[in-house]
């Protein structure tokens, strides 16, 4: 499949109100910075405070745990209170898997305990709930946008959405993130655009660089992934699409529309 470039000139986010989960570091933080650079106002939600990002009149931070509905809803409510509307949402908060889903733990009576759901709760339930809230809040303010212009949601998938080279829990969630697009694209079409980015190995705090080096694969800067997110926010023609990013090269892969 052909690769394409994304030029900074093609990104248009002036005066948009953008909410980003997992915005304190890595891909989320790079997206916060790119959106600010292009004139947007940004609210970042994260369980940890942002690294080297000062609040301004165009950038606010809210502490949130995306696995908790009330906490997550609070970020949307707060963003609306501050800025009056929400145009685009990046459902990006995620964790790498440190557990094995099938790992069997027994209680003191020798009974099987439920599986560790942390990765599923953050990477899947957190994203689903973010999409649910985003669809509601973006549509609520549609009259504030130009005629025919739609707000959008971008979710963070992964190369693990197509293959399995990581622990099971993570692969389950990243396949499921594409399932969210396939499952909701028709329900939401014409009201909110829903797309995904699927980054290859990216230099963030999530995966130790020594581990990536041991695989003998290259690693991209998070700023390159941020560009694909900003393109999906900008381009009104994009709905139910997945942009795979690898070292400044982008491909539209496995369009959710085409299956």
Cβ neighbours of 50 (radius 10 Å): 17
Q: Could you say whether residue 122 binds ligand NAD (CB under 6 A)?
A: yes
244 is catalytic: no
What Cα–Cα distance (Å) separates residue 188 from each residue in 3, 27, 180, 220, 243? Answer: 28, 26, 11, 32, 19
Tokens representing residue 200 in the block: 């290859």
Among 41, 92, 130, 171, binds ligand NAD (CB under 6 A): 92
For residue 95, state whether it binds ligand NAD (rule: CB under 6 A).
yes
Q: Residue 126 has which token pair?
A: 């957190």
Binds ligand NAD by CB under 6 A, chosen from 40, 41, 46, 230: 46
Which span (62-70, 80-88, 107-115, 239-247) binds ligand NAD, by CB under 6 A?
Answer: 62-70
Residues of span 151-190 touching ligand NAD by CB under 6 A: 156, 158
Query: 57: Cβ–Cβ under 8 A, 6 or more apart, which residues?
Result: none
- Residue from 34, 40, 62, 67 touching ligand NAD (CB under 6 A): that is 67
Least Å distance, CB 9 to ligand NAD, is 25
58: left (phi over 0), alpha (psi -120 to 50) or beta: alpha
Between the two ends of the chain, the Cα-to-Cα distance in Å is: 16
Kind and range of the H or E run holding 245: strand 242-246
* Residue 63 appears among annotated catalytic residues: no
In the set 16, 60, 174, 227, the catalytic residue is 174
Query: Is 27 a residue that touches ligand NAD (CB under 6 A)?
Result: yes
The nearest distance, CB 220 to ligand NAD, in angstroms, is 8
173 touches 124 (CB < 8 A): yes
What is the tally of helices (H) and strands (E) in the chain? 7, 8
Angle, helices 69-83/126-140, rounded to nearest 10 degrees:
30
91 binds ligand NAD (CB under 6 A): no
Among 6, 13, 26, 60, binds ligand NAD (CB under 6 A): 26
Beta-carbon count within 10 A of 111 CB: 7
What would the x/- binding string for ligand NAD be over residues 200 to 239, using CB under 6 A?
Answer: -xx-xxxx--------------x-----------------
Q: What positions carry a catalytic annotation?
A: 170, 174
Binding-site ranges for ligand NAD (CB under 6 A): 21-22, 24-28, 46-48, 64-67, 92-95, 122, 126, 156, 158, 199, 201-202, 204-207, 222
């Amino acid at each position: 499949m052909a690769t394409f470039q994304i030029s900074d000139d093609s990104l248009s986010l002036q005066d948009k109100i953008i909410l980003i989960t997992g915005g304190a570091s890595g891909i989320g933080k790079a997206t916060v910075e790119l959106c600010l650079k292009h004139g947007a106002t940004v609210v970042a939600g994260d369980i940890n405070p942002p690294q080297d990002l000062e609040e301004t009149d165009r950038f606010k931070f809210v502490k949130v745990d995306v696995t908790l509905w009330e906490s997550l809803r609070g970020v949307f409510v707060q963003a609306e209170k501050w800025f009056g509307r929400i145009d685009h949402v990046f459902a990006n908060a995620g964790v790498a898997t440190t557990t094995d889903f099938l790992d069997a733990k027994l209680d003191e009576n020798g009974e099987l305990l439920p599986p560790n759901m942390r990765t599923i709760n953050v990477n899947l339930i957190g994203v689903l709930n973010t999409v649910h809230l985003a669809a509601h809040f973006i549509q609520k303010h549609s009259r504030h946008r130009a005629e025919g212009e739609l707000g959008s949601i971008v979710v963070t998938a992964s190369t693990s959405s197509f293959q399995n080279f990581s622990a099971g829990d993570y692969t389950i969630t990243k396949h499921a993130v594409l399932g969210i697009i396939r499952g909701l694209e028709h329900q939401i079409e014409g009201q909110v655009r829903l797309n995904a980015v699927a980054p290859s190995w990216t230099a963030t705090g999530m995966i130790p660089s020594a581990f990536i080096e041991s695989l003998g694969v290259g690693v991209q800067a998070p700023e390159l992934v941020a560009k694909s997110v900003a393109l999906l926010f900008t381009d009104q023609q994009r709905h139910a699409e997945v942009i795979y990013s690898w070292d400044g090269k982008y491909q539209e892969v496995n369009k959710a529309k085409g299956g």
